Amino acid sequence: IQSGLVNTAKSKNSSDLPQLLIIEDNPDVVIYLQACLENRFQVDVAYNGKIGIEKAIEQLPDLIISDVMMPEKDGYEVCDTLKIDERTSHIPIVLLTAKADAASKIVGLQRGADAYLSKPFNKEELLVRLEKMVERQSRLMAYFSKQFSSGFSSRINPQESEEAILIEDVFIQKVR
């Protein structure tokens, strides 16, 4: 099943594609992810959590895929750091891990992961999740562009009171 992102992305220049940062210390997993995501994303790689955090802050990618178990800083620390930083709090993070138990998944979600997939993961599930995250980011950008251009005259309506919108609204209010 091919998604709309997959179909349209193949016809775009690579510079038009969403930017994705992979934070993963296993070269084989990195190669597989790159093969899955080619022609869909501009992919950059960090081979440990510390470098991943630095690249995320520097590049502000559209999405991040991070392993949980890594040297320097693990995926949970990546989530902790990036989700509290105003510059990166809006970036969706997918945690990939061999830790498939419910307790590990709950810890990842509590620490800010937007999705948690166990290895080995289903390629189609990963692609659909990433596509939906890109769509959500686009909707948020459109919403805040509209708010900014209208002088913030209207408030968030009840249907759009997702946590991410509230976080971004606080950020926009600080900018204002």
pLDDT surpassing 60 at residue 111:
yes
Lowest pLDDT segment from 24-28, 126-130, 133-137, 169-173: 169-173
In this model, does residue 106 exceed pLDDT 60?
yes
Reduced to 3 states, what is the DSSP secondary structure of residue 45?
strand
Residue 140 backbone class (left: φ over 0; alpha: ψ -120 to 50; beta: rest)? alpha
Q: What is the mean pLDDT of the segment spanning 55-82?
A: 94
Comparing 22-36, 75-89, 101-115, which segment has the lowest mean pLDDT? 101-115
Alpha-carbon span 88 to 81, nearest angstrom: 9
Is the model's pLDDT at 48 over the cut of 90? yes
In which element (H, E) is residue 157 found? none
Q: Give the span between the Cα atoms of 75 and 94, in whole angstroms.
A: 9
What's the pLDDT score for residue 83? 94
